[in-house]
Amino acid sequence: MAKILVVNLHGMINVPRATKETLAQLGVGRRFAATVVGDDSVSKGSLALCKDYVAWAPIDPALLEAMLKSRGRVSNSKALDEKALKGMGYKTYADLADKIIKGGSRLSSVKGMKPFFGLSPPKGGFRRSSRRQFGEGGILGENPQLAEIVRRML
């Protein structure tokens, strides 16, 4: 089953209640929060409801491994390091990335780790409007260029 990277690119001010609850269920309740969800009908429906606030695209293992190395967290004050990986039963970041992509449906299925990544604003800024859909010249919604944006956010 393929996995989808979801990034919240909008703040939470003036967001309708149903959309705010859906963002929280997806695990991206804050601005620049990212997570990995399964490519199933439930997730697609949630993404369609939140399309004006998030961007999503299929994720590749190399990007997920880079995100785990730089932004993975065990707790609010502790990063995901080699010692924490060994405690969870994984040898490398690549092993964990493969487990997430081929295993459970969400990032929250990995025990002992935060189910989201806190990203920074992209270096160089957004090159397209952050208030429009991808088809309208923006970055929201289904965005095939999301991987390049996330690499600048790490």
**42 and 10 belong to one structural domain:** yes
Alpha-carbon dihedral sign for residues 43, 54, 110, 65 = positive
**124 and 52 belong to one structural domain:** yes
**53 and 65 belong to one structural domain:** no
Locate tokens 């993975």: which residue? 72
Give the separation between CA 29 and CA 40, rounded to whole angstroms: 20
Confidence of residue 11 (pLDDT cuts 50, 70, 90): confident
**27 and 56 belong to one structural domain:** yes
**18 and 56 belong to one structural domain:** yes
pLDDT at 43: 93
pLDDT at 104: 67
Asked whether residue 128 is assigned to any structural domain, the reply reads yes
Token duo for residue 13? 């001010």
Give the separation between CA 103 and CA 73, rounded to whole angstroms: 19
pLDDT by residue (tens digit) across 18-46?
999 999 999 999 999 999 999 999 999 99
How many domains would you assign to the chain? 2
Q: Mean pLDDT over all residues of the chain?
A: 92
Cβ contact 129:138 at 8 Å: yes
Asked whether residue 154 is assigned to any structural domain, the reply reads no
Asked whether residue 32 is assigned to any structural domain, the reply reads yes
Q: Which residues form the domain of 65? A: 61-102
Helix axis angle for 61-71 and 93-102, nearest 10°, is: 120
Strand order in the sheet with 129-133: 117-118, 33-38, 3-8, 54-58, 138-142, 129-133
pLDDT at 1: 63
Asked whether residue 111 is assigned to any structural domain, the reply reads no
For residue 82, how many other CB atoms are within 10 A of its CB?
Answer: 11
DSSP-based three-state secondary structure for 90: coil
**125 and 55 belong to one structural domain:** yes
Asked whether residue 36 is assigned to any structural domain, the reply reads yes
Asked whether residue 65 is assigned to any structural domain, the reply reads yes
